[in-house]
Structure 1
């Protein structure tokens, strides 16, 4: 039955005061929840005013919920899902979990000292069910040694003051805990170019490769190399991170570019990157062969600089 025809009289109405909660600066998770509500509405073919009539609220409130500036209760979420005839129960339940969240993450401690992009990366990692990375220029941040990471930060243009390098290093090491603890399964596809790129000299790179080998022997960390000999590169020319959410619709892709860490979560983008990762898995070396490959590069570097 068309809910537009039946109206929303059977839903309990909230007072204007209850719905008009104080507007806030939304977190990444709150923005994502709002974006998913917008997609739900658009898939149902409703405009904001149509949905507002069904909910018995103002169009302005619908807009504020969809950009994360107005809180969405679990009850309201279910009302929206019913109005939009969303039959995807796992998605609705996952969104309900996001609506229930109240605690702030550890990364908020850095909110006045680091760019928002970096905080957002930590936020999606903290809620990840699984993380997959592809690296072609430098080794994955979650597996970098302090010396290697510091050398990467030090090469920023324009140069970062040393206190900023130290701050970013501390932040990165804090982020690494989620992988090193084994709490989140992690797969790293690494192009041979990244294995050979020297940011701070052969000694630091050899140390980094040794650490990478050690990480690859952990139960929850998989390291697979994409060698130069692959005829067709099965992915983009930039590093990226694929973060799996509780349901596929809530996955996220983060791309490394020179001036930020943009996030992508549209169904078409997610489908494209899933295909890239499937192709990557089909051409990358096995875990054992990858370890041997990394050892050979480490030995080569050490031999050339004795």
Structure 2
């Protein structure tokens, strides 16, 4: 079997879940390899996603680890059998891996929850707004790079605009007022956000400055739900790119964060009224 040079995010997650099954069973890599009748090196390569694992081999691993979590085992077997390439692979070699992995995460999610504090969620940005966000990158991008990044971001939006993947977006007032590209671009973005908020499967909730506490402040977060809760993933935007977390402790923490957001944010209708009030002020600045 050929060794993968650069395993994808999903392949790495499958490998880490194999390792988690082994560790929960209290087995060392060599012990499990012996039970499976493979070499310790093969076991390591499976867990690091350097080589693939068949659904049959995966079920053998689960059995050897005495795992009784059938929903998780079935979900992992489905991951192992899915060899389809996502549309984002067309951009490999053109964009950095961070861009591809964010799209890959979104493409396989059952539901997405987003919390933003500095700019509109990428899945709800207009073309002009997205272009203005990328235009602020330093060192500056070339016109070609700017165009590719913008078109890639717009293409990512198909999964939520089509209703294929439900989206909850909690947007802080700071992000609603922050200008990228000037007031006209922001006003158009707010208008598009209102339209998206009426779409089936998209929920937009505003978090005003007046809210006493804002969990996760300063972080733009995405909580991507998997086929089972154990396969949920958190993605965080940082200046260096995208970070991904999937430990049980991290998942529990961020489930609590989004639960608190759900209880503190404005309702969907209140949010629309709030966004309209901001849009009115922005439009007045260039009328």
Render the CA deviation track for 1:238-294: whole Å, top value 9, x for unaligned. Answer: 101110000001011110110110111111111110000000001000000000000
Match of 1:112 in 2: 93
SS in 1 for 2:259: helix
Match of 2:21 among 25, 32, 40: 40
Match of 1:140 among 104, 121, 124: 121
Higher gyration radius (CA): 1
- TM normalised by structure 2 equals 0.98
SS in 2 for 1:190: strand
State the Cα distance separating 1:71 from its structure 2 match. Answer: 1.3
State the Cα distance separating 1:305 from its structure 2 match. Answer: 2.1
Distance 1:175 1:204 in 2: 20
Unaligned runs of 5+ in 2: none
Distance 2:58 2:149 in 1: 37
Q: 1:94-243 maps to which residues of 2 (within 5 A)?
A: 94-243=75-224
- Pairing 1:24–2:10 present: no
Distance 1:153 1:213 in 2: 23
Answer yes or no: is the 8 Å Cα contact 1:235–1:280 preserved in 2. no
Distance 2:218 2:184 in 1: 27
Match of 2:248 among 261, 267, 276: 267
State the Cα distance separating 1:236 from its structure 2 match. Answer: 3.6
Distance 1:296 1:286 in 2: 15
In the TM superposition, structure 1's runs of 4+ consecutive aligned residues that sit over 6 Å from their partners are none
Distance 1:135 1:68 in 2: 32
State the Cα distance separating 1:162 from its structure 2 match. Answer: 1.2
SS in 1 for 2:238: coil
Answer yes or no: is the 8 Å Cα contact 1:134–1:239 preserved in 2. yes
